[in-house]
Amino acid sequence: MVHIVPHAIELKISALKAANIIATIGGLSVCGKVLLGRVSDTIGNKYILMFGFILTSIALVALISASKAWMLFSSGGVFGFGFGGLAVSHSPLVAEMFGLKSHGLIFGVSGISVMIGGALGPLLTGYIFDMTNSYQMAFLLCAAVSMAGILLAVLLKTKESCLVTAI
């Protein structure tokens, strides 16, 4: 999402509107964290993880053809809300799957993996833009990674999913 501002400016959207798009992503991420965090307490973190990946995938696919400010605001808002759900589901899933004894270590290693992706993603996106003079391929790649996240989340074996299978 770091590249949403230069992408918007490239589409002839003002720098102020472009900055507001990134602010919208941040604001709806906060809303997603609070609302989806509450929902995860009821339905389970695995489902919020899947839902977060579904929303981010939809937003990234929509971003490929977005050409107007309202489209960028919409896809950015959906992305931010979904990202909020992803953020709040990690720690509880680690605790549920591995217990609390090594939670700090496992969550820390998981967090490092997320940070590596967060650092390499914008670099790769910039490289793809430099090579193709377009963000479309980079956004498609990000959507594919997010879709892979949906599949991996579905495959997670949690206590909740074991209960549903048993019933």
> pLDDT tens digits, residue range 42-56?
999 999 999 999 999
- Supply the pLDDT for residue 158: 76
Over residues 57-82, the pLDDT tens digits come to 999 999 999 999 999 999 999 999 99
Average pLDDT, the chain: 92
Measured distance CA(53)–CA(64) in Å, rounded: 17
Quickly state the pLDDT bin for 1 (edges 50, 70, 90).
confident
Share of the chain above pLDDT 90, in %: 85
Q: Please check whether residue 9 is in contact with residue 18, taking contact to mean a CB–CB distance below 8 angstroms.
A: yes
> In 3D, which of 39, 28, 36 has the Cα closest to residue 74?
28
Tokens of residue 46, six digits:
């695995």
Quickly state the pLDDT bin for 24 (edges 50, 70, 90).
very high
> In 3D, which of 48, 43, 163, 45 has the Cα closest to residue 95?
45
Q: What angle separates helix 45-65 from helix 159-166, to the nearest 10 degrees?
A: 100
Segment 147-157 mean pLDDT: 94
Over residues 81-104, the pLDDT tens digits come to 999 999 999 999 999 988 899 999
**Domains annotated on the chain, with CATH:** 4-166 (1.20.1250.20)
Segment 28-39 mean pLDDT: 97
Tokens of residue 154, six digits:
């579905």
Question: Is residue 116 exposed (0-12), middle (13-18) or buried (19+ Cβ within 10 Å)?
Answer: exposed
129 pLDDT higher than 70: yes
Quickly state the pLDDT bin for 165 (edges 50, 70, 90).
low
Show the DSSP H helices in the chain as ranges. Answer: 4-10, 15-43, 45-65, 69-98, 103-132, 136-155, 159-166
